[in-house]
Structure 1
Amino acid sequence: MIRSLLLTAAVLAMAAPAAAQSPPAAAPSAADWRTPNPDDLLVIDTNKGRIIVEMTPEVAPAHVQRVKELTRAGFYDGRSFFRVIDDFMAQTGDPEDKGTGGSDKPDLQQEFLFRLGADAGFVQVADLNVSQVGFIKSLPVMSQSPMLMAMTADGRISAWPLYCPGVAAMARGQGEDSANSQFFLMRHAYPSLEKRYTGWGRVIVGLDVVRAIKVGEPVAPPQDKMDKVRILADIPAAERPKVRVVDPSSAWFKAEIERVRASQGPSFSACEIKIPSEVK
């Protein structure tokens, strides 16, 4: 079965580059940072540089668990970025390095939507009356109106990731429940993927690396590769990088939301909000 991301030329034409904006007025203070769970950080060392993805099990628990299992088995080591579209995404995770393979594990049931509750750590950035936009950790999310929580049996509402730059998602075949091992990293925003693919995290370090990966559909040899893929918690303490990222509930982030909103006006998008990170 072909497990490549399914897109048409018409859909591709819908993508648009992000609008330019001025840099933040001030740097985050010490109180604005958070330290991500090291068990939820995917460290991808490529021939182009290091990429760190913050996985979000709150949004797609089965897919995050699959990525962790395959990573810890060494499945992703040496895998090529075999399909890379400039204004779209970079795809990898196929043992055949061509879009037709997968692991020996069963295909996953789709997690296009998830149930968002008041305990999810969701930080709202826009109230659209019938829906809301915000962040869970570093992942941009849209949901139904929070007013509906009081009307549902589980006290939760339907929500889904927004396909902003850096978002990590699972590739699949024709069937919705056909994701297995292949995944892609967004190079640019692509809203037409919402509720059609399972997003499970976001690049917090190395988006420039993702955008530097050799382009092609398929990519001509030599292809760029993931040399080594590890979970941060599994890296020996002596060589483990220290990672921190700005907390979406922080004062700096709230000020940044307003700055971007003022800059963008009616075209305001959560994808335009940059979340600073540091690695030492």
Structure 2
Amino acid sequence: MKKSALWLSLSLLASCAPMQSVQTQAQWVPLDPQNLLVIDTTKGRMIVEMRPDLAPNAVQRIKLLAREGVYNGLQFHRVIDLFVVQTGNPNNKDGGTSTYPNLEAEFSVRLPDKTPWRQVTQTSDGNAGFLGTMPILTVSAKETQRRNVPNFQAWGAYCPGVAGMGRGEDVNSANSEIFFMRGASSFRLGLQYTAWGNAVIGREVITTVAAGEPPANPDVMQRVQVAADLPEGQRPNVEMMDTQSPAFAQLIAKVKREKGADFSICDVQVPTRLK
């Protein structure tokens, strides 16, 4: 799969003069440090927005393992170009688990109708948008009405940068392994693996860690921490562009014009910055 030329990041926006005014006029929203995972690697720092509203058990497990130091020193043991970057197995290869029991699948969730998400596309059978910075897919409003249920079904879209839980053949076998998308794979992975977060800072780590199954010289997660656990002076303060703001609407409109009928939710990245 080819990399999207419209993979929107702040560095990309900064190189485009017309978009600089959009950034200047944009409204910015702080991300909760309780749900930010700080991963220091041999390729630099990556910060991931965790979404407990999509995968509460997965996020709880990741926080637990991070706080116990289980992830420190683990390799990116399986890295496939334009697909996935896998890590988080204590034995540094597929099949390793923590000492905790496996997790049940959290492939989709029912979100309250008043959930503050940003819808970007709407079709007869499904919608797409953002929950925070996380790209999501949902059933259509018409289908929700047909089912006569109060909440709508949503799940993470496996766009570049999205994080998921690895597992074995058993759908309820996720444990400690995590992976990050190096390309887009919504059709292969969507509703098959638990999506729990999205890389918001240091996305280049995902694209530059050494590839291989396993890599000849694997890169390593040197230290993994929850941002809220860091001392105040060391804690990263991350902000996202308000997806309900006119500036973000302009961003979406620009990408839709350029992509035309080929537009998908993976063509957009919610801009973020370190305050």
TM-score normalised by L of structure 2: 0.91
- Aligned counterpart, 2:41: 46
Match of 1:212 among 208, 212, 217: 208
Q: CA deviation at 1:41?
A: 0.2
Which position in structure 2 is the counterpart of 1:63? 58
The structural deviation recorded for 1:178 is 0.2
Tell me if structure 1 keeps the 8 A contact 2:25–2:247.
no
* Gap regions ≥5 residues in structure 2: 7-11
1:236 equivalent in structure 2: 231
For the aligned residues, what is the CA RMSD?
1.6
Are the aligned partners of 2:159 and 2:266 in contact in 1 as well (CA < 8 Å)? yes
Unpaired segments ≥5 residues, structure 1: 1-15
Whole-angstrom CA distance in 2 between matches of 1:275 and 1:145: 22
Deviation at residue 18 of structure 1 after TM alignment: 3.2
Q: How does 1:106-185 map to 2 (within 5 A)?
A: 106-152=101-147, 154-185=149-180
1:271 maps to what in 2? 266
Cα distance in 2 for residues equivalent to 1:109 and 1:275: 29
How far 1:86 moved relative to its partner?
0.9
Task: Give the secondary-structure state (helix, strand or coil) at the position aligned to 1:239.
Answer: coil
Q: Distance in 2 between matches of 1:114 and 1:188?
A: 24
Give me the whole-angstrom Cα distance separating, in 2, the residues matched to 1:171 and 1:201: 13
Residues 122, 128 of structure 2: 8 Å contact kept: yes
Q: Match of 2:251, SS? A: helix
**In the comparison of the two structures, how many residue pairs are matched?**
264
SS at match of 2:233: helix
Is 1:82 the equivalent of 2:67?
A: no
Residues 113-157 of structure 1: CA distance to partner in whole angstroms, max 9, x if unpaired?
A: 111222221210001122111110011111111234445554012
Conserved in 2, the CA contact under 8 Å of 1:126 and 1:133? yes
| Contact kept? 2:83, 2:183, Cα under 8 Å | yes
Question: What residue identity is the alignment partner of 1:168?
Answer: A
2:3 matched residue in structure 1: 18
Query: What SS class does the counterpart of residue 19 from structure 2 fall into?
Result: coil
2:26–2:248: 8 Å Cα contact kept in structure 1?
no
Shift, 1:209, TM fit: 1.3
Structure 2 SS opposite 1:155:
coil
The one-letter amino acid paired with 2:84 is M
Check the 8 A contact 1:171/1:182 in 2, yes or no. yes
3-state SS of 1:102 partner? coil
2:31 corresponds to 1:36: yes
Describe the SS at the equivalent of 2:124: coil
Supply the distance in 2 between the matched residues of 1:231 and 1:187 (Cα, whole angstroms).
23
Contact 1:17 1:189 (C-alpha < 8 Å) held by counterparts: no
Which whole-Å CA distance do the structure 2 matches of 1:104 and 1:19 have between them? 39
Whichever residue aligns with residue 207 of structure 1, its letter is R
**Identity over the aligned pairs, expressed in percent?**
39
Structure 2 SS opposite 1:237? coil
Q: Is the 8 A contact 2:135 2:266 kept in 1?
A: yes
Corresponding letter in the other structure for 2:56: P
TM-score normalized by structure 1?
Answer: 0.90
Amino acid at match of 1:74: G
> Does the 8 Å CA contact 2:95/2:168 hold for their aligned counterparts?
no
Q: What amino acid does structure 2 have at the position aligned with 1:194?
A: G
Contact 1:117 1:149 in 2 (8 A): no
